Structure 1
Amino acid sequence: MMFLDEKIKDHKIVDLISIKSIMENLGPIAEKWYKLYLSSEFHTYPCYLCQNKIDEIKQDFFEKAFKLLSGLGTKSYVLGVELDEDTKKKENEIIKEFALIYYESIKHEIKREVGKMLAERGYPPNMESPEVEIVYRISDRQVFIISKNIRTLYVYNRLNRNLPISSWFSKKGNEGLDSLLQKKIIFAFSEPTSIRVLAEYPIVIENEERDKIEIGGYNISKVMTIGKRELQVISSAKPSMRRYRVTVYSTSSLSEAARVYGNIYDLFIDVKSFSELKEKLSKLQSQYEIIILSIDLIDVKGRIKDIVGTYLKSF
């Protein structure tokens, strides 16, 4: 409205009849503005989507959500709106007809405004780590609660080999950390199953509460409950360097290796990725007659180590 008013005053909109319907569609809020420029009677039209019931819906949702929150043992929540099929159909028709790229669904406006009202009464929504979602169903004006899944950041070591994090990659069928835990693993840094992980690697597990877990050769320690923002930071902070200890058998003397016993040596190799390690080992095998006995990840560097270290110090 302010944008159009400025255009009128700057004489960039001369034909006021061309925006008459826009003024009327804005409803009572535009009536005084309409009468500044037009002498004809001001008519209003019901909103195509909500039939001018959006304020009534917002107030009803607020009252019911406030009553629920007052009786709940938690203030950690987000709001949800379940549109009826007719409203969803109308929204989709508008989006297609006008080829809209940027638009806001009516449900987002309702959530935003009701969230502001609840925040003023001491119940601000928790967008990062909500415990419940309070959903308003437009079709029957009912409110219901959905429990939200809790995501917890852990760090882990893997002291054995050939047990993957996901059973999807198991060579023996359904054997994996996820199947042992009977929990959904949201995210984890990992290595091939033939490699032991002696460094602290992050793993995010859904709806897990234990502080310490020892299972299948995995030692897992709880760090903290996290929200969407922390998950994004952790998942994007890949190691900038990995240090592997490669134990080999060689009849040749390896000057850059640490002799363990007899012809058994430990090589310490810094690389950016496991694929780079494979390339280096392939060159060593062509240069010396070595047999690879085992590979262990012993350290990582980069943002992920700083992030994990910071979280561990704060708990």
Structure 2
Amino acid sequence: MKELIKLAKDLLLRYPLCDKCLGRFFAQYGIGLSNEERGRAIKTLLAMEIHRELLKGSTSPSIDELKKLAENAGYPLSTLYKSVTGEEISVRKCYVCSNELMVLILHLISKAVDLLNNVNIRSFVMAVKSGSSIELREKSIAEELGVESWESIRRELKREIGKAIQRIKDLRVDFKNPDVVLLIDLEEKDVKLMLLPLYLKGRYFKLGRFVSQMIWIGRDGKKKYKLSIEEVCRNVLKVVNGVDVKIHAAGREDVDVRMLGDGRPLIIEVKEPRIKNLSVTTISDLLANNPIVKVNIEGIVRPSDVTKIKEEVHQKVYGILAYSSDGLTTEDIVKITTTFKNADIRQLTPRRVLRRRKEMLRVKKVYEVDGVLLDKYLAYFIVRCDGGLYVKELVNGDEGRTQPSFSSVIGKKIDVLFLDVLEYLEL
């Protein structure tokens, strides 16, 4: 206790401090107290201790020291000084906040509430810009006197303003995945609302062909394909009032390949959504209206899930309608299904994508192939393989750049007529 009183006395002999700013220097002491209550209690305790010493006839503190303490602390030390000397004292403004902190907090709360009235959200988190003059002044005092029990004004503002917003707007604080960030600028006495992206996880289905994943603009400045997954996903902007959409998918299929089965996992990142307090069902129903592309939203996820969805290991099952002008036999089908059982496939980057992807060797595995001969020239195959395998080249061989291939195994030219992703298997 003596150490606490001594530190309070040292602080107030050097600097004028309001109750709130003094209390922050002793933030680690006392349970259930605000800094204002803590500071007032410390001043009261100091005044009582000085009064006790004076009643004992002590000459410490001197009248000059008592006057200094009264000027820098105000009530109740100013009352004690008047009682001892009969003189009124002029109380100095707080060195840290100039006695403006309480009014400033109310102003910032009002500004934050006004901003929140324009959005429909469920959660928030507070942030305060560092480096304000108030913060630097209190930090210099703490360093000068070696105070270890203090907390910064930034921490107090986040706590006090956050509690007020919770009470007024009935919102919850979410430190990990908030809907918005309220950023306080102490120097400008301002609050900014930062609308964090909304991440919607789901799966998309392509029921038709010649549909790109992203909007594909050709060299002539026109859309190359009439429809894309991205365009369907952009419909979410209508209900969340966002400004843009970015698609994060677990790989992609060629534009002429359908995506069937349970669909391909994706995350829709919505930039600056002003509405987040709505049901996943509402969004999913909106994105299921297109007859060619359907997106099923499963839930709201965190930004870290974007990395996970891109890095997850998976297998895929393909349906292939293949054609050979050289003709096909039952023996060819048996040879293909027998050869491609747990087979390692070595693929150089296909010639058809070399203009946009670098040359490299990929080794992928084909786990099993089932096939049926449809007529002399047509066969249908079901292939289960690693994600990332170029299936068209698995069939045609890409002029020897994929080894082995269906073509190399049977010694005939064979091409893909139609290709479908039947299943996306998450491991």
Q: How does 1:202-281 map to 2 (within 5 A)?
A: 202-205=265-268, 206=270, 209-211=283-285, 212-215=287-290, 217-236=292-311, 238-250=312-324, 251-253=327-329, 254-255=333-334, 256=337, 257-275=371-389, 277-278=391-392, 280-281=394-395
Letter aligned with residue 193 of structure 2: I
Please give the alpha-carbon distance, in whole angstroms, between the structure 2 residues aligned to 1:107 and 1:241: 53
Mean CA deviation greater in 58-67 or 134-143: 58-67
C-alpha deviation, 1:147, in angstroms? 3.7
- Give CA deviations for 1:218-252 in whole Å, capped at 9, x if unaligned: 1112212223244444343x242111111102312
C-alpha RMSD over aligned residues: 4.4
Counterpart check, 1:287 vs 2:409: yes
In structure 1, how many angstroms separate the alpha carbons of the residues matched to 2:102 and 2:248? 37
Q: Does 1:81 align with 2:97?
A: no
Amino acid paired to 2:394? K
User: How far apart are the structure 2 equivalents of 1:213 and 1:109?
Assistant: 45
Provide closer, same or farther for how the CA distance between residues 136 and 186 of structure 1 changes in structure 2, counting only shifts above 3 A: farther
State the 1:170 CA deviation. Answer: 6.1
Residue 201 of structure 1 is matched in structure 2 by 264
Unaligned runs of 5+ in 1: 1-23, 31-50, 91-105, 304-315
Aligned partners of 2:255, 2:408: CA distance in 1, in Å?
25
Shift in Å at residue 187 of structure 1? 1.0
Q: Counterparts in 2 of 1:143-222, with a 5 A limit? A: 143-168=191-216, 173-174=222-223, 175=225, 176-179=228-231, 181-182=233-234, 184-189=245-250, 190-199=252-261, 200-205=263-268, 206=270, 209-211=283-285, 212-215=287-290, 217-222=292-297
The equivalent residue for 2:355 is: none
Instruction: Find the residue that maps to 1:213 and give its secondary structure.
Output: coil
Give the paired residue count.
Answer: 240
**Max Rg structure:** 2
Change (3 A) 1:231 1:222: same
CA contact (8 A) 1:196 1:295 kept: yes
Consecutive unaligned residues of structure 2, counting only runs of 5 or more, are 1-13, 15-20, 27-94, 137-151, 235-243, 274-281, 338-370, 398-404
Cα contact 2:316–2:387 (8 A) shared by 1: yes
Change (3 A) 1:137 1:197: same
Report SS of the residue matched to 2:178.
Answer: coil
**Deviations along 1:182-214, whole A, 9 cap, x unmatched?**
451341122222321113112222259352424
Q: Structure 1 pair 181/62, CA: closer, same or farther in 2 (3 Å)?
A: same
Please state whether the residue corresponding to 2:184 is helix, strand or coil: strand
% identical aligned pairs: 13
Identify the residue that residue 12 of structure 1 maps to in structure 2. Answer: none
Are the equivalent residues in 1 in contact too, given 2:284–2:295 (CA < 8 A)? Answer: no
**Quick one: distance in 2 between partners of 1:219 and 1:125?**
34
Question: CA separation in 1, counterparts of 2:296 and 2:216?
Answer: 23
Counterpart contact for 1:248–1:264, Cα < 8 Å: yes
How many Å apart are 1:278 and its aligned residue?
4.9
* 1:298 alignment counterpart: 422
Distance 1:267 1:82, change over 3 A: same
Structure 1 residues 62 and 233 mapped into 2: Cα distance closer, same or farther (>3 Å)? farther
Distance 1:300 1:180, change over 3 A: closer
CA shift in 2, pair 1:131/1:120, >3 Å: closer
Q: Answer yes or no: is 1:139 the counterpart of 2:210.
A: no
SS of 2:283's partner is coil
- Superposed counterparts of 1:62-141, under 5 Å: 64-65=108-109, 68=112, 74-82=121-129, 124-141=172-189
Q: TM-score, normalised by structure 1?
A: 0.58
Moved more, 278-287 or 149-158: 278-287
Q: Is the 8 A contact 1:159 1:218 kept in 2?
A: yes
Letter in 2 for 1:64: L
Task: Give the CA deviation at 1:58.
Answer: 10
Inter-CA distance 184–286: structure 2 relative to 1 (3 Å threshold):
same
